[in-house]
Amino acid sequence: MNYDFSDNFKSLAPSAIREILKNAGDPSIIAFAAGNPNAASFPLSDIRRLCAEILESPAALQYGTTEGYGPLRASVRERQRVRFGIGRDFDDTLITSGGQQGLELACRVLCNPGDTVLAEDPSFIGALNAFRGIGARVVGVPLESDGMDLEILKEKLDSEARVKLIYLISSFQNPSGICTSLEKRREIYRLAKEKGVIILEDNPYGELRFRGEDIPTVKSFDEDGIVIYSSSFSKLLSAGMRVGFVIAPAEIVSKMTVAKQTEDVHTNLLFQMLCHRFLTECDFDAHVKGISELYGKKCGIMLDAMQQHFPGGVTYTRPDGGLFVWCTLPKEIELLPFVRAALSRGVAVVPGTAFATDTSRYTEHSFRVTYATPTDEQLVRGVEILGEIVRESL
């Protein structure tokens, strides 16, 4: 049978990059391509204990409400308000099945096919594909070392048709590791307000800072009800449990709740209860500090190795948090042959083309690596191998 797929999904296919990386799961490969948190960051014994306690009663096994488990909505709201100044009286909280669902639902309730989402270029492929799957046009705004190029953002806000959303990952961006500066956050907020465009702020890594001072989120400025804030417990408690949250104006949360109900009715209830208990009974801040320190140490090892083994022509970001370093090759080295060569020598990296807002653009010379999951030895050895390939390719 010849299946006639919908316009939105006809063209969305597993990417060529996935094809390149399909052997990257081989345990002998140094997994610089992964997007996983380090398993040591999951509080396994607390999770085991809390699961057992919650399962003393069958309550977690019954249907829950789409908005989310009430006590978790309250504890998330409270923590975000007190620690990060996020949330006003007009805001409401929705528990989502991971951060991904928050991004997808936001676009679903706001964008018609053909509407435009302005996104940092490069950006998180999972979000870009969610927007594309809704039929939205993704238009990139080049990322500078302190956030979007604001001149180009202004230009696109004026010139692109039907701009509905500005999507940004404000801290330790995926794939670049970059933080948008406070000045740029304020200016993006001002521009969005002026143009009547909603900001979708994605912040799954913000708490994972291991150096420098926190920068207030864009949502923390939001006195006008124009920011949808999406975050997640995936990098803090467990990625596999799929629990995230959105804080946004109640009217938007209400529509997202209707949309969520059509997708999965509600998020796994046991793990919602578990997140609530961890937030209120365990020392969440100390736990997060521990993860940040782990990543800070690993990042330091990787950056030191890059300093030592990368030839001068290779540039790379020096993140203050999060999971990723973004490396850029000299222009004379072709990216995809480099990535293939690395894989054949046992190192998987993600070619920057995977994160391009314009999928027809293959002029990219950057690649993403993570320091989160490899062992300390793999961090050094992997960088050494990448350095060798660069030198051989020059």
Contact 317, 325 (CB under 8 A): yes
Does 259 engage in binding with a second copy (CB under 8 A)?
yes
Pick the closer one to a second copy by CB: 101 or 366: 101
Pick the closer one to a second copy by CB: 55 or 82: 55
Does 268 engage in binding with a second copy (CB under 8 A)?
yes
CB of 59 to a second copy, least distance (A): 8
CB of 2 to a second copy, least distance (A): 9
Which candidate, 42, 77, 91, 51, places its Cα nearest to that of 245? Answer: 77
Does 14 engage in binding with a second copy (CB under 8 A)?
yes
Pick the closer one to a second copy by CB: 74 or 259: 259
CB of 240 to a second copy, least distance (A): 4
Does 354 engage in binding with a second copy (CB under 8 A)?
no
**DSSP structure string for 146-213:** TEE-HHHHHHHHHHSTTEEEEEEE-SS-TTT-PPPPHHHHHHHHHHHHHHT-EEEEE-SSTT-B-SS-
Segment interacting with a second copy (CB under 8 A) among 202-210, 240-248, 293-301, 348-356: 240-248
Tell how strand 163-169 and strand 116-121 pair up.
parallel
The length of the chain in residues reads 394
How many Å apart are CA 83 and CA 196, to the nearest integer? 28
- Partners of residue 246 on adjacent β-strands: 94, 230
Residue 351 tokens read as 């070619």
Tell how strand 315-316 and strand 244-249 pair up.
unpaired
Q: Which of 87, 249, 352, 382 binds a second copy (CB under 8 A)?
A: 249
Does 270 engage in binding with a second copy (CB under 8 A)?
yes
Helix extents (H) in the chain: 7-10, 16-20, 44-54, 70-84, 99-110, 125-133, 150-159, 182-195, 250-264, 269-281, 284-309, 335-344, 376-393
Residue 224 tokens read as 């006008």
Pick the closer one to a second copy by CB: 100 or 317: 100
**Cα-atom radius of gyration of the chain, to the nearest Å?**
21
Q: Which of 160, 263, 384, 388 binds a second copy (CB under 8 A)?
A: 263
Does 271 engage in binding with a second copy (CB under 8 A)?
yes
Q: Which of 22, 23, 26, 39 binds a second copy (CB under 8 A)?
A: 39
Segment interacting with a second copy (CB under 8 A) among 75-83, 109-117, 137-145, 298-306: 109-117
How many Å apart are CA 168 and CA 145, to the nearest integer? 14
Pick the closer one to a second copy by CB: 239 or 386: 239
CB of 259 to a second copy, least distance (A): 6
Q: Which of 58, 331, 332, 360 binds a second copy (CB under 8 A)?
A: 58
Does 264 engage in binding with a second copy (CB under 8 A)?
yes
Residue 382 tokens read as 């992997």
Segment interacting with a second copy (CB under 8 A) among 31-39, 204-212, 277-285, 355-363: 31-39
How many Å apart are CA 24 and CA 357, to the nearest integer? 24
Segment interacting with a second copy (CB under 8 A) among 81-89, 265-273, 328-336, 374-382: 265-273
Segment interacting with a second copy (CB under 8 A) among 93-101, 176-184, 301-309, 386-394: 93-101
For a second copy, the binding residues in 110-169 under the rule CB under 8 A are 110-113, 115, 126, 129-130, 133, 164
Q: Which of 73, 184, 242, 368 binds a second copy (CB under 8 A)?
A: 242
Does 295 engage in binding with a second copy (CB under 8 A)?
no
How many Å apart are CA 295 and CA 146, to the nearest integer? 21
